Amino acid sequence: MILKHLVDTQDYSKTELLDIIHLIRRIKEADRQGCTPKLLEGASLAMLFEEPSTRTRISFEVAMTELGGHSLYLKPGEIHLGARESLYDTARVIARYVDCIMARTLKHDTVVKLAQWSTVPVINGLTDFNHPTQVICDVVTMLEHAPAGKKMEDFHVTYIGDSTNLASSLMMICTQMGMHFTFGGPAKYQPPAEWRKVCEDNCKVSGGTFRVTDDPVEAVKDADFIYTDLWWWVGQEDQIPERRAAFMPKYQVNMDLFRKAPAHCKFMHCLPASRNVEATDEVMDSPNSVIFDQAENRLHTEKGLLVYFIYPNLKRPSSELQAYHKGEIEAFLEKKLF
């Protein structure tokens, strides 16, 4: 059995990530022609959610269905994630029922421990630290909207805003893939030293670059892609006045700031968004916005990830073996029940 988990993109090499991305793009091409292969027929996915989601739940559930498998949505209150049952027992039990576990948890350590103890692949659907499925999707989207004449290693990606769990994942995968990444935000909300070190170490290997600035105009001047996210999240509601004052209006992605970037620059946002807060409607709905392409690509990304992690471990019995067991069971039923 080949047991791999997706907890963090940093656990994979650039070559392995490119393999996943190429698989996603091949499956998307098949999807567009109505030829999605039923590669996961008979497989089951457990989807564990400690907080609600739109894109993550729908994309994984539809992906599993279209690949021929089945998904189970387990929301808060329906499963014991360390409450009344240890995480160890939960991981070991669920792994006996399904072929893969996708978990969206409040604490990163929960996913780490699920992966440590599960005997089937675990996919991180978002934690308080990172969001690997989203940023793999983002690289797919960037490649689809690559500026003319540029390869991936030429991309300049600028993130404007707060150092969120999305920002951590984005800066790490971009530097890992050899891109040029700029973080623009107020000093208090810039990425911590340990995140920066990961990115700097990535650049030494990949040839990418990484920089942090509090000047948004400087940050976007060479951008091929400008990305932003929410300025506050669950549990930060009491900080909203302080955060709004720190980011508005200097770090809002509005047309005035967007026009400081090259004309071909694309706008990205993982959604959900607070419209006219971190970005204006004018930018989000502009011809240069690819936010809905991003959202769609979550579906194709989840298909690729599910195939990559589940398919190698599926049992593929011969037609003769299937016929043998069918015959044995039918013979038993005929003898005992009829």
pLDDT tens-digit series, residues 130-145: 999 999 999 999 999 9
Residue 163 shares a structural domain with residue 36 = no
Residue 111 covered by a domain: yes
How many other C-beta atoms are found inside a 10 Å radius of the C-beta of residue 307? 22
Instruction: Tell me how many domains the chain contains.
Output: 2
CATH of the domain at 91: 3.40.50.1370
> Rounded CA gap, 259 and 117, in Å?
49
- The whole domain housing 74 covers 9-131+295-313
Whether 299 has a pLDDT exceeding 90, the answer reads yes
Residue 3 lies in a domain: no
Any domain includes 309: yes
Residue 270 is among the residues annotated as catalytic for this protein: yes
- Report the alpha-carbon distance of residue 54 to residue 267 in Å, rounded: 21
Is residue 140, in this structure, part of any structural domain at all? no
Residue 235 has pLDDT above 80, yes or no: no
Q: Is residue 138 part of a domain?
A: no
Q: Does the active-site annotation cover 298? A: yes
Query: 8, 57, 99, 134: which one is catalytic?
Result: 134
Amino acid 83: pLDDT: 74
Q: CB–CB of 131/139 below 8 Å?
A: no
Q: Tens digit of pLDDT for each residue in 97-152?
A: 999 999 999 999 999 999 999 999 999 999 999 999 999 999 999 999 999 999 99
* Whether residues 265 and 191 fall in one domain: yes
Output the CA–CA distances (angstroms, integers) from residue 252 to 49, 233, 255, 257, 270, in the order listed. 31, 17, 9, 8, 16
**Which pTM does this prediction carry?**
0.96
Which among 228, 210, 208 is positioned nearest to 275, based on CA atoms?
228
The reply to whether 131 belongs to the active site is yes
- Whether 195 and 219 share a structural domain: yes
Among the options 57, 203, 229, 294, which is catalytic? Answer: 229
Question: Could you tell me if 280 and 164 lie in one domain?
Answer: yes
User: Are 159 and 243 in the same domain?
Assistant: yes
Q: Does the annotation mark 199 as catalytic?
A: no
Same domain, 80 and 103: yes
Report the chain's mean pLDDT, rounded to a whole number.
96
Residue 229, domain member (yes or no): yes
